[in-house]
Structures are given as C-alpha cells and as structure tokens.
Amino acid sequence: MHKSEIQTHLKYPDICALLDFVLSRMQEILGEKFVGLYLYGSLVAGDFDYEISDVDLLAAVNYELNENEFHALDRMQDEAVENNPRWKNRIEIAYASRHALKTFKTQRSRIAIISPGEPFHVKEAGKDWLLNWHFVRENGITLFGAPPETIIAPVSKEEFICAVREQANEWREYIIQTKHSRPFQAYAILTLCRAFHAVKNGEQVSKSKAARWAQTQLPEWSSLIEHALKWREAWRVGNVNHEATYLETKKFVGCVIGRITD
C-alpha cells in the first residue's frame, strides 16, 4: 500500500505520516531482508480511539535482526516519536522472521519488539502470539510486501477458540494483580466481552461491537458493560472512586470467564 492508499484508508493525517516515515526507514535499514509491513489492531478492527489507542505493526523479515539492524531500528523508532510526539509510548512494532511466523504454533522464536511502556528489546514468542498473527493474516492491512497469508501459518477455528479461552482464563489472576483504575476496569470488561464473542461466534470483532452483542447475551451485566464503554471514553476524568466499581468488575470477569471456559 502506497502513501496515497494509506491516506485513503485512514482518516488521521499524522498517523499516515508516521506510517510513511516508518516504512521508508525500514526499507532503507533492512533492504532485501524486509519481507512486509502490516497494520493491525484497533485501527483495523474499527474501535480505534485517537486519544488512547496504540498503533500496532508487524514487520516481517527473512531472518532475525542482527545487532546493527536492531540499533538502527531503535534510533529510527526514537526519531519517529520525536517527529510525532503524540504517539510516544503508543506504538507497538514487532519484527518477526518468516520462520517465526510459520512455526509459532509449535515452537518459540526470538522476535524484536517495541511496545507501550517497554523499550525496544528481544523476547521469545510462540503460541502466546497466535491471536495477533491470526488477526494480521486474516484482517491486517498490507502496507508493504507479500500478502500476510503467504508468510503466516493458518490458524484453524478450533486453535483460535482454544487460544481465546487460554488468554481469557489468565484474567482470573490479572484482574487481581493489576491496578484497579477505572480505565483498566473498562479494558478488562470490554476485553472479556470480545473474548466471549470470539468463543461463541468464531471470530474476533472490535471491543465496542462485542460489547453491544454481549449486552444482549448477558442482560444482567448490560448496565456495567454500558458503563465500561463510557469509562473508556472518559479516561481523563479525575476524582474517581476507582474501588467503588472494582468488586463488580471483578465479579463480571469471573462470570464471563466461566461462560468462556465451560
């Protein structure tokens, strides 16, 4: 997808400029090693919030990054947010090899990644990234290079639902161990709505669409889900008694996990 096509698809000129800069610099740094660049996440799913959402990218490469490439990309990413300060700590770029994208269901491979709140670093990724790579393969926007379905292993419906259930189950501990802020509660509620929708319908949709669907399936929780949609939009509001709604949120999370894992 060329710059003009990016601008046609996205309504945010600064994001178009950011993507154009990142793509051109990746091409310079990686050369023939660069296989493709793919946009995914909320910008593609349809519930992107310009004030708080992240920009999610997968950069596919023929082989793992070497040390010189890693440092050059690190500098490029710093420059990208210096030119576009709104997106500081709001960009996630994962650099994965062809091998990693073909074998993630059966083995772990090293990927390089920068994500909100974390510096550029190398980590191992395997089945825990199945939902990300599946989304890229089925719904991602190709900004450059090969179609994602030619380089990412396919995921069956059964594998998809199993991964959703596994990730949803992790929320039993996550909801306890993580801060209780109202924005986090909204994130938890809407994430579990999306997981519930995915298990029941075999597809991943935006959080907002899944929330509206969940209200019809879980009428006893409709009011809380409605609050979560509003909390997500009003994340800047101060003087909030976060604990006042935490226990209900925790109860919702446990209830929906039960529906998902049954």
Q: Which two tokens stand for residue 259?
A: 């529906």
Are the C-beta atoms of residues 175 and 253 closer than 8 Å to each other? Answer: yes
Cα–Cα distance, 99 to 195 (Å, whole number): 28
Q: Strands 91-97, 141-145: parallel, antiparallel or unpaired by DSSP?
A: unpaired
How many C-beta neighbours within 10 Å does residue 125 have? 19
Cα–Cα distance, 37 to 190 (Å, whole number): 28
At residue 261, the pLDDT reads: 86
At residue 1, the pLDDT reads: 46
If phi > 0 it is left, if psi is from -120 to 50 it is alpha, else beta; for residue 163 that is alpha
Are the C-beta atoms of residues 47 and 209 closer than 8 Å to each other? Answer: yes
pLDDT per residue as tens, the chain (262 positions): 444 445 445 678 899 999 999 999 999 999 999 999 999 999 998 888 888 889 999 999 999 999 999 999 999 999 999 999 999 999 999 999 999 999 999 999 999 999 998 999 999 999 999 999 999 999 999 999 999 999 999 999 999 999 999 999 999 999 998 778 888 999 999 999 999 999 999 998 999 999 999 999 999 999 999 999 998 776 566 667 878 999 999 999 999 999 998 7
At residue 3, the pLDDT reads: 43
Whether the model clears a pTM of 0.85, i.e. scores above it, the answer is yes
At residue 161, the pLDDT reads: 96
Are the C-beta atoms of residues 127 and 163 closer than 8 Å to each other? Answer: yes
Residue 119 phi/psi, 5° resolution? -75, 170
